[in-house]
Every structure is written in structure tokens, then in C-alpha cells.
Amino acid sequence: MRNHIDKKCKKFPRNKPEALQKLLQAKSERDVLVAWRFDQMKCRKGLAKMVIAHEYPFNCVNHYFFRDFLNELQPAFKIPSRTTLRADCMKIYEEEQVNLYEMFGNLSCRFSFTSDLWTNKGRDRGFMAITCHYIDEGWILRKRILTFVPLPSPHTGRHIASAIYDKLCLWNLDKRVFSLVLDNASSNDACISELLYSTTIKDDLPVEGKIFHQRCGCHILNLIVQDGLNTLHKEIDCIRETMKWIKHSQGRIEKFKLACSQMNIPYKKPQWDVPTRWNSTYLMLELALELKPAIVRNKSDVGASSMASDRNAGLKDYLKGRKGTTGTKTELEEYLSSDRDDANLDDDFDILSWWKMKAPRFPVLAQLTRDILAVPISTVASESAFSTSGRVLSQVRSSLSDESIEALLCAQDWLRVSIAETGKLIPAPLWTIEEEDINEEGQ
């Protein structure tokens, strides 16, 4: 009888809790016992969030030891299929999208945007990312990836403008635009012209769109640096070809490792620069200096913008355009004549915190400041989405639909930001360049 009850009874299993039966669970550091009930749907939602945030494949639920782990952890949990898991991820994306849409509607500020294009090598097709930047009611600078969608050829200015305008209308942000930051490609100049003269965006832009188009500061800096490096192009080309020559042969790599050992230099993988990454040349030269003795030892083996518009004038026009508001002129005069010695301009000075404190005194100027300070200096925020997309759309996941790609990438961004805002997770930097990334680009 005992053997039957303990091991064989299917009608009344002894070791399986009832579905509605609550269990006692230790909670918090004080080990307070609280009632807890297993919830299948909450567990499925948690699993879907894990897959989105950590970029796991949908078929992870078919992995033997993952299923074994879940069974040991909670036998009552019914592991969903790959198709069900995808549906759960899409549901989370839709829920987060609605929450973000409602949050945008409750904000009183304007929004600035960045956009860029990326071509996936596996699919030989282009994708467009649009990122939204704003300062919330707590005077904290925020950014969200709004969309990541395929953009079929041709990538003309009219085509890009149409895609951007459609997405802004979808999010109901077309009448709340402050600026759009793009790189210096000629197609982007045509895109701006299309947005200003072929859509209704211009009707709601400050000062008739004079400060609408902002060029990417990093791209301008890259052009300046590349122009300066042209004076040393022979030396840089020689170092670049040397790095490539060593890297492209396993035998040369072994000889180079031996040379490093003989010269008592730590071996580092040869790498070369990428023109689109403006500091990669510096990293290549820095590495070349470290490895110089070993390179010299083996040298016998080596064979081989202008910003047209006046931004200051545009900002002045913007301020003049808002002077019609009651009290703005008096408020501006009061601000210019006020004592601002409390603004300690040291390394720890936070201009957003300062304006948050002064907002009750200068409400209109504070609103203008929120719009201006939210303008990003570069398109880095949109380009950072491509690092994630490269992992999401890897070779083993190249069969993902366009809908799934956008859902996974956008939902990951929204989930990470929401967790970071609670203080439970420190957000990663917006953009970092790692040696492995540069090596992959250089190969």
C-alpha cells in the first residue's frame, strides 16, 4: 500500500501539489514565510522575457538539459513549444508597445530622432532603425528604439523619408518632432527635403524646420580625422597591410607569436582599422606601437563638411517664435538678468538637474530647454541597434521573419530600459567598440 501511494498512484499523487494549493515560501532577507501559488502563465511570461532579453533562440525549449533543468526546478510547469514561446514573445512586444505609446501621449515635450541603415549579409537586404530621444517629466534623458524594419531597395531619399514619416505617424509623433539626426550621406539630404516639402511635418516644426535637420557629429569628426590622416596615409597603409599580411596566414601568426616571445612582448591578435569607425585607426596604431619590436623583427617576411545652416540663428528664431506665449519675454529677461552663480560648472555639474530645479521659476524656458537638450549629437544610438540585430539575426537564426526581428529587438530595448529605471540593473553603454568587433569588420 505504501509503495502504491508513494510511487504508483496516479489519481492522488503524493508528491505533486494541487493546482490551487498554496505553498509556503521564504521571501526577503528576513526569511518571512508567505503564501505562494504556482502560476503557469506567469512562468511562461518570465521565460519569454528571458528569451527576449538574453537573445536565446526560440528552440531553446527543445534542448534536452534545459527541459531537464525546468522539470527539476518545477515539475508542474508545462514547457511551451517553440511556436508557443514565439507567440508569448510577440504578446510581450505588443504589451510593451502599448505602454510606450501611452507614455509618449502623457509627456509634454517634443521628440528628437536618429535613424540609420544597416545591411544584413545573410539576407542581402537593408534594415532601418529609428530611435527616439526625449527628456521626461523628471528631467532624465531617455531614448527608445521605435522600430527596426526592412527597407527594400532602392535606398533613395524619397524612399527613406516615406518610411520614417509612416513610422512617426504610427506612433502619433509626427506633430511633436523637434529634430532628426542623420549622417552625411547624400540620400539623407534628399530625405530631409522630402520630409519638409512632401509631408505635413513642416507645419508643426519649430521655426519652419530651420533646426530640424542635424548632422551626425561623429560622422563629421570622422571626416575631419580622416582628412588629417591623409597626410600620413603611406605610413598608415603600410601598417594596415602588415597587420593583414600577418593575420591571413596561420604560419605567419605562429612566427609572429614566436617573435613576440623572443622579444618578451605579450602577444596580441593583429587588427586593422575600419573607415566607418573613426577611432579604430587610433587603436590599430596603438597596437602597432606595442608590437613594434616583433613587427620589426619579422619585417623581412613582409612582402607587400560642411554644416550649411546656421544653428545659432535657428535657435534664436525658435526662441523668438515662442515669445508670443504670455510672459515669455519677461521670463527671458528675468533669466538673462538673474544671478546664476549657483550653477557650479565643475565636472559634477548636471545641467538637467539644474533646470529641473529652475523649472518652476522659468517654466517656458525650461520647456524649450527640454526640447533642445534632448537633441542627440550623433546617430550612435541607432547604430548601436545594429550590434544587437547582428546577434538576433545571426546565421543560425536567419530564418526569423521580419515581424519577429522587430519584436525581439525593440522589446529587448524596452525591457532593459524598464528594468534599469527601477534601479535593479545598470544599463550598458549606448555604444562601445570592442577589439573583436573591429577584427570581424577587418577580416
Q: Which residues of 306-316 are buried (b: 16+ CB within 10 A; e: fewer)?
A: eeeeeeeebbe
Report the C-alpha gap between 330 and 336 in whole angstroms.
10
The arithmetic mean of pLDDT across residues 201-220, rounded, is 88
* Nearest residue to 382 (alpha-carbon basis) of 89, 164, 102: 164
Q: pLDDT tier at 308 (50, 70, 90 boundaries)?
A: very low
In this prediction, residue 198 carries a pLDDT of 86
127: helix, strand or coil = strand
C-alpha distances (whole Å) from 317 to each of 133, 134, 216 are 22, 21, 22
The winner for highest mean pLDDT among 68-77, 124-133, 147-156 is: 68-77
**Lowest model confidence (mean pLDDT) among 67-76, 365-374, 384-393, 410-419:** 384-393
Report the C-alpha gap between 199 and 327 in whole angstroms.
33
Report the C-alpha gap between 237 and 211 in whole angstroms.
39
* Residue that wins the pLDDT comparison between 292 and 18: 292
* Residue that wins the pLDDT comparison between 23 and 369: 369
Q: Which alpha helices (DSSP H) does 230-350 contain, by range?
A: 233-247, 250-262, 280-290, 292-297, 311-321, 328-337
Q: pLDDT tier at 15 (50, 70, 90 boundaries)?
A: low
The arithmetic mean of pLDDT across residues 233-256, rounded, is 85
In this prediction, residue 342 carries a pLDDT of 61
ω into 154 cis (within 30 of 0): yes
**Lowest model confidence (mean pLDDT) among 191-205, 238-252, 260-274, 302-316:** 302-316
Report the C-alpha gap between 232 and 388 in whole angstroms.
35
Report the C-alpha gap between 201 and 195 in whole angstroms.
7
* Nearest residue to 386 (alpha-carbon basis) of 135, 115, 184, 197: 115
**Lowest model confidence (mean pLDDT) among 110-124, 179-193, 206-220, 282-296:** 110-124
Question: For a pLDDT cut of 90, what percent of the chain falls above it?
Answer: 30
Q: pLDDT tier at 392 (50, 70, 90 boundaries)?
A: low
Q: Residues near 125 by Cβ (< 8 Å), separated by ≥ 6?
A: 119, 150, 152, 153
Report the C-alpha gap between 8 and 122 in whole angstroms.
53
C-alpha distances (whole Å) from 370 to each of 41, 108, 142, 379, 442 are 41, 10, 11, 19, 40
156: helix, strand or coil = coil
The arithmetic mean of pLDDT across residues 227-234, rounded, is 80
pLDDT at 329 over 60: no
pLDDT at 305 over 60: no
The grid cell for 340 is: 546664476
In this prediction, residue 65 carries a pLDDT of 95
C-alpha distances (whole Å) from 180 to each of 64, 152, 210, 390 are 48, 22, 11, 24
* Nearest residue to 210 (alpha-carbon basis) of 313, 324, 307: 313
* Residue that wins the pLDDT comparison between 36 and 343: 36
In this prediction, residue 80 carries a pLDDT of 95
Strand ranges inside 136-237, DSSP E: 141-150, 177-182, 213-215
Q: What is the average pLDDT score of the chain?
A: 79
Q: pLDDT tier at 429 (50, 70, 90 boundaries)?
A: very low
* Residue that wins the pLDDT comparison between 274 and 141: 141
pLDDT at 116 over 60: yes
In this prediction, residue 421 carries a pLDDT of 65
C-alpha distances (whole Å) from 76 to each of 64, 89, 164 are 17, 22, 47
* Angle in degrees, CA 212, 360, 342, rounded to 5: 90
Helix (H) or strand (E) holding 404: helix 402-421
The residues that bridge with 134 in the sheet, in sequence order, are: 142
- Which amino acid, one-letter code, is at 211? I
Q: pLDDT tier at 393 (50, 70, 90 boundaries)?
A: low
